[in-house]
Structure 1
C-alpha cells in the first residue's frame, strides 16, 4: 500500500482542481493507497510516525518542491522509498526523474523500479539532485528565460555577455583543503548516485570580458560571500549563503521509471 501525503496548498492551490481526476486515476490503475492531507509541512515527521505501517510500501509526496523536500527530510532515517506525484509544473525532482505530470506519477506507482539516490545536506536539511546558487538578479534573469547558465554542468549555453550580469565576491573551501576566491555569478552543485564519487561543483565566474566556467569535485563545500545568495533546489529556496553543503553517505530509495529488464515493483 502507498501512503500519499498530499499538500493541498501546493502549486498555488492546484490540487483541489485535480483531486477528482487523481482519485479516478488511482482507482482505475488499482493502486492501493491511503491519502493523508498535510495541514503544515512541519507536521510531516509526525504524520509519518503515525501513518507508516508494515504494509506501507512507499510514501508518495503529492505536491511541489517544498512538499518533496519536507518528505525527504522526514524519510532520511527510514528505510522507505519515496514516490512523487507532482502538482506543480516546476517540480524539480519530478522533472529530473522524467515525471512530467501528476498522471505520469500515478502510472509510475503501478509500474516502476526502486533506485537509490544519494543525499546531500545543508544544515539540517537534505536534498537530492542539483542545487543552484546565484545572486538574486541573475536568478531572476534565468527564470525569465533570458539566460540559462551551466546547462548540464559542461558550460553549454552559458551567458556570452557580461551585460547585466551580477557577481558576488566569494570564498569557497572544498573538502577543508582547497580555497577558491572568485567573483561568482552562478554555481551549480550536483550529487552523484555513486557514493564513491564526489559532488560536481560548476562555478561561473567573472574574469575579463567573458564568463568562465570551472569544474571542481568535492564532498564538502563551504561558501561565504560579500552578499548573501539564495540556494535553490528547483525553484524552491532551501537556504542562503553562507552555508556548508555536504554529500553524505546516505541514500534514499526512490520510485523511478523502469530502466532495466527486471523492475523492482513496490
Structure 2
C-alpha cells in the first residue's frame, strides 16, 4: 500500500502550468491521507540528487508533475528499482502519460490513480545507462530540436516553428546503417524513430502500433523524400496513417543500433548522444500507476 510519496515538479513545464498542477495534486494527495514530500529543484541536476535521496530513503512512490522531460529525469533514478511512478501531466508533450491512458487534463483524477494503487509494469528503452520511455529519434526531427535550442531568443511554439522552417530549407537525405537484432540495413532516409511508445511531440503517432508492454521497439523509417513531400506527410503523423505510405517502412526489434555520420539522437525530448547509439528494450523496467481496467499487461 502506498503511504508516502515524493512529488517531483518542473516549475517551468507547460509555461508554469506544472506549478499550479503540483499544488492541486499535493493538496489532494494529503486530503486522501498520504504523506507527501515535494521536490522542486532549481536545476535538473539538483532535482536528480534530491530524488536519489528520496528513493534511497524508502519513499513508497514518486509522482512526476510536468512533461516527458521531467519523466525522463525521474526514470534515471527509479528505472529498475521497483519504486512505482505516478504521472500528473503538465508539460507540452505528455506522451508517456498519453500511452498509459493517464488523464491529461484532470489533476485530481491523475492523482487518484496513485492513491488507488493499480500498478502495471512497462518496458523502457536504454542507451548505455540512459533510460527513456517514449521515442528515440534521429534525423529531421532531432535536427529541428537541436536548431530550436539555438533560438532561445524566440519564445514558446514560435521557436520550434521557426526551427522547423529553417531545417526544412536545409533538408538532406542521410545515409544510415541500422542493426535490428540480427539484421543489418543500409538505407537513405530523412528520419529514423525507435518507439517504445507510439507518439512524441504531443501526440504525433510516429510509431502508431508500438506498445509499452510487448518487449519490442517499433522502428519507423521515413525514406528519401523531397521538402514538399515531407510537408505533405506531416498531417498523417497525428493519426499514424503515414505507415501505409510507400516512403515509410516499419520494423520491430528488441535491440537496435543506429549509425549515421554527424547525427544526434533525442529521446523524450532530451538530447541523448551523437550517433552511433545502441538501444535496448528492457522489459518490465518501470512500475507505473494506471487506471483500473488498463489494457496494459499485468
What TM-score, normalized to structure 2? Answer: 0.67
Q: What's the RMSD between the two structures over aligned residues?
A: 3.4
Q: Which residue, out of 69, 72, 83, partners 1:80? A: 83
Q: State the shift of 1:22 in Å.
A: 3.8
Is the 8 Å Cα contact of residues 222 and 243 (structure 1) preserved in structure 2?
A: yes
Structure 1 spans left out of the alignment, 5+ residues: 148-161
Q: Are the structure 2 counterparts of residues 109 and 130 from structure 1 closer, same or farther at C-alpha, using a change threshold of 3 Å?
A: same
Q: Distance in 2 between matches of 1:181 and 1:98?
A: 36
C-alpha offsets along residues 117-139 of structure 1, whole Å, 9 cap, x if unaligned? 11211232111233333324885
Q: State the shift of 1:72 in Å.
A: 0.7
In the alignment, does 2:277 pair up with 1:243? yes
1:155 corresponds to which residue? none
2:131 corresponds to which residue? 126
Q: Secondary structure at the match of 1:133?
A: strand
Q: State the shift of 1:189 in Å.
A: 1.7
Structure holding more helix per residue: 2
Q: Distance in 2 between matches of 1:241 and 1:214?
A: 21
In the alignment, does 2:101 pair up with 1:101? no
Q: Distance in 1 between matches of 2:281 and 2:294?
A: 27
Q: Distance in 2 between matches of 1:226 and 1:55?
A: 44
Is the 8 Å Cα contact of residues 44 and 74 (structure 1) preserved in structure 2?
A: no
Is the 8 Å Cα contact of residues 138 and 166 (structure 1) preserved in structure 2?
A: no
C-alpha offsets along residues 86-114 of structure 1, whole Å, 9 cap, x if unaligned? 22142221222223136142232233510
Instruction: Write out aligned runs for 1:47-196 (5 A).
Output: 47-52=50-55, 56-99=59-102, 100-101=104-105, 103=107, 104-136=109-141, 166-175=172-181, 177-191=182-196, 192-194=211-213
Structure holding more strand per residue: 1
Q: State the shift of 1:198 in Å.
A: 3.0
Q: What is the total number of aligned residue pairs between the two structures?
A: 241
Q: Distance in 2 between matches of 1:184 and 1:20?
A: 45
Q: Distance in 2 between matches of 1:244 and 1:129?
A: 16
C-alpha offsets along residues 219-246 of structure 1, whole Å, 9 cap, x if unaligned? 221112244144232x444444332211
Q: Are the structure 2 counterparts of residues 10 and 239 from structure 1 closer, same or farther at C-alpha, using a change threshold of 3 Å?
A: farther
Is the 8 Å Cα contact of residues 143 and 264 (structure 2) preserved in structure 1?
A: no
2:223 corresponds to which residue? 205
Q: Which residue, out of 12, 21, 32, partners 1:9? A: 12
Q: Distance in 1 between matches of 2:22 and 2:220?
A: 40
Q: Which residue, out of 215, 238, 250, partners 2:250? A: 215
In the alignment, does 2:237 pair up with 1:231? no
Q: Distance in 2 between matches of 1:77 and 1:21?
A: 29
What TM-score, normalized to structure 1? Answer: 0.74
